[in-house]
Structure 1
Amino acid sequence: MKNQIKIILNIILYIIFIQLSTVLPKNDRNLNASIKTAEMLAKRGDSDNAISIYLGLNKKYPNNIAIIRSLKTLYKKNNKYQEGITFFQSQLKHEPKKAQSYIDLGEFYFLNDQIDESKKIWNDGVKRFNSKSFYRNLFSIFSRYNLDKDIGKLLLSGRTKFGNSFLTYEAGSFYQSRQTYDKAMDEYIAHLLHNKNRENLIQRRISRMSDDDDANNIILSKLLLISEKEPKIFLSLLADFYFQQQNYKEAFDTYRSWHKIGKWDQRKWLSFANNLRREGQYLVAVDTYNYFLKNSKNSNNTGRALLGLAKTFEDQVIPINKNNLIPYFFDENVFFKDSFTETTSISPVHLENSLSIYDSLLFSLPRSPLLAEAYFRLGEIQYNILQDFDGAQSLLKKALESNPNKNLELKIIEKIIDVNIAQGKLIQASEFLVRKINPNNKSVLNKKKILISLLNADIDSAKNIIQIELKTITPNDTYFNDLIELNDFLKQYTEKNEPNQATGFKHFLNAEFLIRQRKITEAISELGHILDKYPETSIVPLSTLRQALLLKKIQQYETALKLSLELENTWLADKSIILSGQIYELHLKDKEKAISRYMKILNEHKTSIYAEPIRYHIREIQTLTVK
């Protein structure tokens, strides 16, 4: 059945072919139909009939480039080189001024191993058509067939006629594809010498070339040599190459050399600084931002550099709980989360110098959202890293006065409240909040209202606001879970109407207030006071865990360990065991005791939600020990 269908289709195609070969199309619709038929025949492998249709069409439409291109493709694909020669000879005879026919006829001579004839017809074309386009087309043919000597002669002839920059980019690409990197670099350098606005294009080509390790020494030597002769053009290219090779200090020094000879490209400097930051090269990034800020005259770019510098500081922040195996306390709850930076890799000298430049430049910028964000970032650095609360307060107020957008304005307001709390000024924080709260930001600022009430030990007010909030927000709100957790927390520790319970809980909240003021030692003492004076209150296990975590934070590991061991018979047993294991593992460097502690979770607290993570961690320790 299939064979019968095939035979029928072939008969239909043959009838169409016969009709088309005897009666040529009379309009474009017939022309398109004929071309589609020829394409169908070519796809089916019937190249002879396809060629016959195209030849018939060519007689009717001799200037139709698509028909000529299709014939050329079919002749080459089916190795019909002699037929191709005959066709393009007829094309030249019919229209001797058609330059492309010289190129195509020469190519078929070449493919047919008639080398002398190919060179003769190409040379005739060069003499007849003294144009750049003919040279470019001929260069494409020579490149395709790797005719190195002919390329050399063509480039020499072309540059004599059209100038030394002629075909430099094309020649560079050709030599690069042949891995002849020294010649490729010579061509790219020549191209850039005559086309100074093509630096990005050449930089991308060199970047690809450097993927081959064999090319790197050649690239470097060529760039160093030309940079001495033409520093204004090539030093930035050399700097970019150093950056790509991860020689960041050399890249920075080269950019400075470029500036010293009078070249200053703010866009390139800012891009360079941002890229250093993304690569984690913070010291060089800070130096680059500072250099830019000292020399930039554009206020908009200065603002961008200030933000980049702030981000560089922020990127170096390492949170204290980074290595915690589990969330021991309410680590991610907004009402308990510690916003201060514990450790950073920022050099104090770099930070001091940079902040001095940063602060002085802010006064030169016009009021704008960019300036507002710059003040805000600097205020955050003063608050989070340096704990300079007065300085942070001043900068954040300037941010608020600098026309911030709505989202940034809300962030600034929240941060000013945090700084007031850190300064121990709960009344000022509350008054500021009342002045700034409105229907648009009420849902966000109400959480600050709850926090202030808690830290002020105004439990009833906090509870009332929580209940109002729970009626208005949905589970999709960002702090819904935090609010539920806080609500349960307050119910657990404030429902018993006993004086000691209430007093103990207030001491706990006061400790949280002291933590917010960065008074860690005083907070530890306050939590210890609960254990000493109110040992029977329900808050004791949680306050003891909080005390142990703070002691660990200030590196009093033995005392922290002692407290964590005292919690084994409480509802926090699993957390206290894991904490003791982590102290042994990371701080006292006793892996055997650490594993022993972790094993208690698997043996005695199998239902703990932390059992599986601890099982996995034990395997990790044992694997590392074996290695």
Structure 2
Amino acid sequence: MRSYQLSSNHALGFVFILLLITSSVFAQKWVPVKQINKELNSKLRLAQRLERQGQIEKAIEVYKYIVDKKPDNYSYYNRYANLLFKSNDFDKLNHVINRFLEYHPDNENAVVDLGELYYVRGDTSLAFNYWSESLERFHHSVSFYRVLFNGMIAHQLYDKAENLINHAREYHHKNDLFSLEMAGYYMIRGEYISSAREYLLYARTNPKNYKIASRQILRFPSEENIFIGIDSLINNEINESGSKPYLHRLRGDILFKFKRYDDAASEVFYVEALSGNKGKEILDFAKDLLQEGEYEKSEKLYTEILQRSEFQKIAPKALLGLANAAEKSVINRQSISPLTYFFPGNLFFNTDFVQSVDVSEQHLQKAFSIYDSLIITLPRSTYSAEALYRLAELRFRVTRDFDGALKLYRKAYEVSRDRNLRNNCKIRIGEVALAKGDPIAASKIFTGEVRKREGTDIEKSLKVRALLSEYLSGEIDSVIASQNDILGLLGVKNPLFNDVFEFMNFLDENYTKTNQEGKEAFKDFVKGELLVRQNKLSEAGEIYKFVLLNYPDVPVASATRFRLSQIQLQFGKMEEAEKTIEPILDIGELFADEVSFMMAEIAHYRDNNIDKASHWYELILERYPYSLYTDLARKRLREFQKNANLEKES
């Protein structure tokens, strides 16, 4: 009976204690997991911000709080451990790493971290023994090799890291194991031949991904000793692996990079032979030559393609390429034009006209002849559509035969099934109307097309050109009123956004903010702009002179002087241009550094007058030290000095 009473008392006591504990627990506030995670993420952002601000000790405190709350979370652990490594706080590191390993004993990153801790605190033998034992424990897994390799590299244990990879390759019997990692490692260290060897090893086992190797090797410095070493490696690879297309393609890429164009062409022809002579490789190569400015070599190669019977299927494409090379050899070598310096590249202030080209030049006539023959021999084909468009471009941009160009653009639009080419034709048809001095007709063309093409990829380009037409017709207030709509439609990522934004700022400064006299002057300025759009430069010059004579103090006067000086320079009147821009330079106002740079480059590149160019470059450095052109001016002056010293030595 006593025994029973004692047992009952014990039981009652236990129940009482249990009730106390339970009530205590439930009295505490229950916090949902979602709320805890939200708090920790907020703390994490705070820690990262403190770290960026250089407040390392405070960041460590916050990271400690986070990791203590979630000691098994690798993301939190990793950030905290990295910061402790940087702070050399070895005691805390030891605690944090070992605690994390209690939760995740097989986490390879944390295992390597522990070895790194041993190493950085001076226990070198312990570190290497621990890593070696861990390698065995993880059964020599490829992933552990990779993590350990990166850890060794982080501590500049380069020899050990290389030995580790060699060990991995031997153990797994794979010579190409980690070839990409080793290639990148050697490249960072500037050991380019070793890097190329690893990339070739990767390409050998992954021929479909050879472009990865090619792309990286092509980033190597253009030094002769590097070329010799790489070319030797590729030739050895060809001899060992046989004539595989990707190897000859790779060698062709390398030869091209180092400007061995003839040898590169031979490799590409060999690739074609191995791949069935489809022609794509050699056509791409000829186009690459063109983009490098190697016009004669490109023409020569296109001619050779046309002469080879195995490439008859691509003859029309080769003919188009030959004509393109012929016209570019003339157009792209034109002397530098002063008309391109007023808001460079901006659609609202620049035309696509090519200046100072002899239309009777042999190469240009060759292009005309080829396009004509393609139009006749392959009517209503993809090739004739391309030929029609390019011929129209020559008529429009070079000969300024606007009526002839218009007919060709319309015909190309009718024949072509290529959306981009048809879009370009529609745009050019409107631009021809502008070039003929009829902005109202151009506006109707562009606006009409906008209604038809709403929601398509050409709509924005058409709307911008409709705005340009409205501007050139003198409807300035209407243009300004549509500012927000057009910018909203374009969006900041559209390539025309900056053009419109710059143009609207120009209107704001020179029209909106001025008085009635300034507005009248601006409208006359626009008349000059319309004449420039027609390439009637002499007449435009007279309009600009009229503006300067009658409205010398209005805001648009500076822009007018800039424009007039461009036309004077185009006609070779350097002294007149210098007088025209004097007021801009004297008061150092808007366009002062731009016109100075224009004067310098025209003297430098077109007139080959180094003394005059030096004067203008020096003026930029002296008067406009914060100009965007300062660094370039300084560089050019150094080049002049270097060339002068070389002439003295010789």
- With the length of structure 1 as denominator, give the TM-score of the two structures: 0.53
2:377 aligned with 1:360, yes or no?
A: no
Q: 1:607 to 1:486 in 2, by over 3 A?
A: same
User: What is the aligned partner in structure 1 of residue 431 from structure 2?
Assistant: 418
Structure-to-structure mapping, 1:75-474, within 5 angstroms: 243-244=262-263, 277=290, 282-283=295-296, 286=299, 301-313=314-326, 315-316=328-329, 317-318=331-332, 328-342=341-355, 348-365=361-378, 367-437=380-450, 438-439=453-454, 440=456, 441-474=458-491
Aligned counterparts of 2:632 and 2:282: Cα–Cα separation in 1: 46
Aligned counterparts of 2:437 and 2:422: Cα–Cα separation in 1: 23
Shift of residue 294, structure 1, vs aligned partner: 11
Contact 2:597/2:616 (<8 A) preserved: yes
Shift of residue 529, structure 1, vs aligned partner: 1.5
Aligned counterparts of 1:502 and 1:278: Cα–Cα separation in 2: 45
One-letter code aligned to 1:595: S
Contact 1:547/1:560 (<8 A) preserved: yes
Shift of residue 513, structure 1, vs aligned partner: 1.3
Q: 1:574 aligns with which of 583, 593, 613?
A: 593
Contact 1:578/1:597 (<8 A) preserved: yes
One-letter code aligned to 1:555: G
2:624 aligned with 1:605, yes or no?
A: yes
Shift of residue 397, structure 1, vs aligned partner: 0.7
Aligned counterparts of 1:595 and 1:279: Cα–Cα separation in 2: 29
Q: Secondary structure at the match of 1:566?
A: helix
User: What is the aligned partner in structure 1 of residue 208 from structure 2?
Assistant: none
Which whole-Å deviations, capped at 9, do the CAs of 1:340-391 have from their partners, x for residues lacking one? 1235699723322431332232143253554433322222222223322222
Aligned counterparts of 2:373 and 2:479: Cα–Cα separation in 1: 42
Structure-to-structure mapping, 1:579-590, within 5 angstroms: 579-582=598-601, 585-586=604-605
Aligned counterparts of 2:534 and 2:440: Cα–Cα separation in 1: 15
2:532 aligned with 1:515, yes or no?
A: yes
Contact 2:446/2:463 (<8 A) preserved: no
Q: 1:412 to 1:297 in 2, by over 3 A?
A: farther
One-letter code aligned to 1:556: K
Q: 1:537 aligns with which of 551, 554, 559?
A: 554
CA RMSD after TM alignment: 5.2
Contact 1:318/1:342 (<8 A) preserved: no
Shift of residue 396, structure 1, vs aligned partner: 1.0
Q: Which runs of 4+ in 1 moved over 6 A?
A: 198-201, 264-273, 290-300
Contact 1:310/1:378 (<8 A) preserved: no
Contact 1:368/1:402 (<8 A) preserved: yes
Contact 1:319/1:342 (<8 A) preserved: no
Contact 1:426/1:456 (<8 A) preserved: yes
Q: 1:365 to 1:559 in 2, by over 3 A?
A: same
Aligned counterparts of 1:578 and 1:450: Cα–Cα separation in 2: 30
User: What is the aligned partner in structure 2 of residue 481 from structure 1?
Assistant: 498
Aligned counterparts of 1:605 and 1:279: Cα–Cα separation in 2: 34
Aligned counterparts of 2:526 and 2:636: Cα–Cα separation in 1: 34
Q: Which stretch of structure 1 is more off in the superposition, 409-418 or 419-428?
A: 419-428
Which whole-Å deviations, capped at 9, do the CAs of 1:81-131 have from their partners, x for residues lacking one? xxxxxxxxxxxxxxxxxxxxxxxxxxxxxxxxxxxxxxxxxxxxxxxxxxx
Which whole-Å deviations, capped at 9, do the CAs of 1:561-590 have from their partners, x for residues lacking one? 222233222413333444444455556665
Contact 1:389/1:423 (<8 A) preserved: yes
User: What is the aligned partner in structure 2 of residue 617 from structure 1?
Assistant: 636
One-letter code aligned to 1:421: L
- With the length of structure 2 as denominator, give the TM-score of the two structures: 0.52
One-letter code aligned to 1:443: K
Aligned counterparts of 2:405 and 2:308: Cα–Cα separation in 1: 27
Contact 1:313/1:346 (<8 A) preserved: no
Q: 1:265 to 1:498 in 2, by over 3 A?
A: closer
Shift of residue 429, structure 1, vs aligned partner: 2.0
Shift of residue 426, structure 1, vs aligned partner: 2.5
Equivalent residue pairs, number: 411
Aligned counterparts of 1:336 and 1:443: Cα–Cα separation in 2: 18
Q: 2:519 aligns with which of 492, 495, 502?
A: 502
One-letter code aligned to 1:391: G
The runs of 5 or more residues in structure 2 that have no matched partner are: 1-124, 134-166, 169-234, 267-276
Contact 1:527/1:544 (<8 A) preserved: yes
One-letter code aligned to 2:392: G
Contact 2:323/2:366 (<8 A) preserved: no
User: What is the aligned partner in structure 2 of residue 126 from structure 1?
Assistant: none
Q: 1:314 to 1:454 in 2, by over 3 A?
A: farther
Q: 1:294 to 1:460 in 2, by over 3 A?
A: farther
Percent pairwise identity: 28
Q: 1:587 to 1:361 in 2, by over 3 A?
A: closer
Contact 2:522/2:556 (<8 A) preserved: yes
Q: 1:476 to 1:599 in 2, by over 3 A?
A: same
Aligned counterparts of 1:541 and 1:518: Cα–Cα separation in 2: 21
User: What is the aligned partner in structure 2 of residue 555 from structure 1?
Assistant: 572
Contact 1:375/1:395 (<8 A) preserved: yes
Contact 2:374/2:383 (<8 A) preserved: no
Q: Secondary structure at the match of 1:362?
A: helix
Contact 2:544/2:561 (<8 A) preserved: yes
Aligned counterparts of 1:546 and 1:501: Cα–Cα separation in 2: 17
Shift of residue 312, structure 1, vs aligned partner: 1.1
Contact 2:393/2:405 (<8 A) preserved: yes
Contact 1:266/1:296 (<8 A) preserved: no
User: What is the aligned partner in structure 2 of residue 52 from structure 1?
Assistant: none
Q: 1:310 to 1:422 in 2, by over 3 A?
A: farther
Aligned counterparts of 1:244 and 1:384: Cα–Cα separation in 2: 36
Shift of residue 285, structure 1, vs aligned partner: 5.1
Contact 2:525/2:560 (<8 A) preserved: yes
Q: 1:382 to 1:620 in 2, by over 3 A?
A: same
Which whole-Å deviations, capped at 9, do the CAs of 1:289-317 have from their partners, x for residues lacking one? 57988999999735423431343145333
The runs of 5 or more residues in structure 1 that have no matched partner are: 10-42, 45-175, 178-183, 185-197, 212-240, 248-263
Q: 1:448 to 1:554 in 2, by over 3 A?
A: same
User: What is the aligned partner in structure 2 of residue 526 from structure 1?
Assistant: 543
Shift of residue 594, structure 1, vs aligned partner: 4.2
Which whole-Å deviations, capped at 9, do the CAs of 1:216-271 have from their partners, x for residues lacking one? xxxxxxxxxxxxxxxxxxxxxxxxx9954999xxxxxxxxxxxxxxxx99899978
Shift of residue 320, structure 1, vs aligned partner: 6.6
Shift of residue 274, structure 1, vs aligned partner: 5.7
| Structure whose alpha-carbon radius of gyration is higher | 1
One-letter code aligned to 1:337: N
Aligned counterparts of 1:298 and 1:380: Cα–Cα separation in 2: 28
